[in-house]
Amino acid sequence: MSQEFQVDLRTAGQMGSPESIESIDLNAAYGECRAIARREAKNFYYSFVALPKAKSDAICAIYAFMRQADDLADDESLSIDERRVRLDAWMSAWRAVSAGGATNDAVFVAVRDAVGRFQIPLTLLDELVAGVTMDLDAARGDEPDTYATFDDLYRYCYLVASVVGLVCIRIFGYSDPRAEKLAEETGIAFQLTNILRDVKEDAERNRVYLPVGGLASHGLTVDGVIHRAAGARPTANERALLKEMGRRAEAYYVSAEKLMPLIDKESRPALWVLVTIYHALLKRIERADYDVFSRRASVPTVEKLGILFVGMARMMWVRVAG
């Protein structure tokens, strides 16, 4: 993240004079959100560009909102308590803006417009931030952040990923209420994929998202994950646990396929791009026999661009057919 954006975050949500909100052009506000998404979103941004502009703008605004919250929570130059104070102040500023208050924060301007335009419940944004604060709340001095059971991990995944899906489908458009549970489970698939990819990096930050109960059932410990030899390939027991998590993720990707026909036709190509990229990442982890320690799994840019090309072609076909 650029130093300029870090500085902006320290005053994010700053309230301005009654005229200040008028001084921020809405198109410029959305443009700033798009710049943040383009710089930071990686897998997500490829799907954003396969949406009609109004929907793409709204998704970028929501992403920028999430990015601000994440960066405030993850600023390791500050103590946990300082991060909580700044995040609480930022959230209070957002609530004031969402209620009609003035602001000089472009992200808040864009998000407030997107919330009104696509009827996004404010409770979902509250849950997004609750997910961000879970890691702060779980911090216990030098003790690692852990989740006892898969049910506990599911709650975390719901807040940090499924809620994003529930926001996105309101922007995508849907009428069948079954879409909501399917969007929730699609978010779980994405987050489990992230967790598998990031086991090594999370352990270096004193975080183990593999459930403690699952570790124990495979003869493993939290301490063993955190202090394993650098670059060592996974043991048979580690592979077995990671494979179990992979199978759970695969089961939730079935929900993503079921969700596809339930959202508006013009939004399906974007969802297809996002699901295809994330599923490709899981497939790469599987093909590496779950060795997420010696090399970090990723989908090459050229493959992502190929997926995006197909998504854009699908979008153009929908428009022509419509």
Q: Distance (Å, rounded) from C-alpha 205 to C-alpha 296?
A: 16
Distance linking the first and last C-alpha atoms of the chain? 40
Confidence at residue 139, expressed as pLDDT on a 0 to 100 scale: 60
Q: Which residue has the higher pLDDT, 8 or 287?
A: 287
pLDDT band at 135 (very low <50, low <70, confident <90, very high): confident
Confidence at residue 18, expressed as pLDDT on a 0 to 100 scale: 39
pLDDT > 60? residue 281:
yes
Q: Distance (Å, rounded) from C-alpha 96 to C-alpha 199?
A: 38
Whole-model pTM? 0.87
Confidence at residue 66, expressed as pLDDT on a 0 to 100 scale: 92
3-class secondary-structure state, position 208:
strand
Quote the distance between the C-alpha of residue 254 and its chain's center: 19
User: DSSP string of 57-69?
Assistant: HHHHHHHHHHHHH
Where helices occur in the chain by DSSP H, the ranges are 3-10, 20-23, 26-40, 43-48, 53-73, 80-98, 106-118, 122-138, 150-157, 163-172, 178-197, 199-204, 212-217, 222-226, 236-259, 268-287, 301-321
Report pLDDT digits (tens) over 95-126: 999 999 999 999 999 999 999 999 999 999 99
User: Nearest 5 degrees, angle CA 201-CA 126-CA 35?
Assistant: 60
Q: Distance (Å, rounded) from C-alpha 129 to C-alpha 132?
A: 5
pLDDT > 70? residue 140:
no
Out of 2-11, 35-44, 197-206, which region has the weakest mean confidence (pLDDT)? Answer: 2-11
pLDDT > 50? residue 5:
no
Who contacts 69 (Cβ-Cβ below 8 Å, separation ≥6)? Answer: 87, 90, 91, 128, 129, 132
Backbone angles phi, psi at 201, to 5 degrees: -65, -40
Surface-to-core class of residue 147, CB atoms within 10 Å of its CB (0-12 exposed, 13-18 middle, 19+ buried): buried
Tokens of residue 167, six digits: 């926001």
For 142, 199, 276, the CA distances from 300, given in Å and listed in that order, are: 36, 20, 13
Report pLDDT digits (tens) over 207-264: 999 999 999 999 999 999 999 988 899 999 999 999 999 999 999 999 999 999 999 9
pLDDT, averaged across the chain = 89
User: Nearest 5 degrees, angle CA 207-CA 200-CA 187?
Assistant: 70
Q: Distance (Å, rounded) from C-alpha 216 to C-alpha 318?
A: 50
Confidence at residue 3, expressed as pLDDT on a 0 to 100 scale: 33
